[in-house]
Structure 1
Amino acid sequence: MAHVEVDYPRLYWLSFAVAGLVTLVRAVVQGLSAVTLQTLVLLVAGMVVFGTAARGLKHPEASGAPTEPTPLLLVAVLGATVYSVFTLATIV
């Protein structure tokens, strides 16, 4: 069986970057019909999450992200993935 190298810090930050982008898309789509407080909160949350993830992706090893498969990594990546998939499903 082939050995697969996984860059765990990059995977961690990439999952958060996708979740941040999905949140921004949701805020924009929701804002097309009416701008509410929820829309503004989603917009700010998406920008913060995406901005933090983008900084983490620049230097993933020095960012404090898990460097090996840990429960934190598993929960964070699965949580961000499930959030992104279900949020995209509600947008479409």
Structure 2
Amino acid sequence: MPKLLTTSQLSRHFGSSQVVSAVDLKLMRGDILGLLGPNGAGKSTIMRMLSGDLAPSTGTISICGEDLLNRPTQAKRFIGYLPERPPPAS
């Protein structure tokens, strides 16, 4: 069964504050994943990184075998994401 989403050592810093630390995920077809945690735990930051809206400080993200950081256009073909608040226009 192909991997739909894989992250390796995904981390994000904002200045000196580490918000997400070394997240490893592997989702296969049919898997269900829930991100749970208190305010400030990094859930939204993880989702922004997985959608390609925010680059990780370190780590890799692969969607359907496409590297999101090195081949964003190809990887984003497989993403559907509707955040509560849309990201600011770039």
TM-score for both structures, normalised by structure 1? 0.26
TM-score for both structures, normalised by structure 2? 0.26
Greater RCO structure (CA 8 Å; 6+ sep): 1
Determine which structure has the larger helix proportion and give its number: 1
- Larger-gyration structure (1/2): 1
Determine which structure has the larger strand proportion and give its number: 2
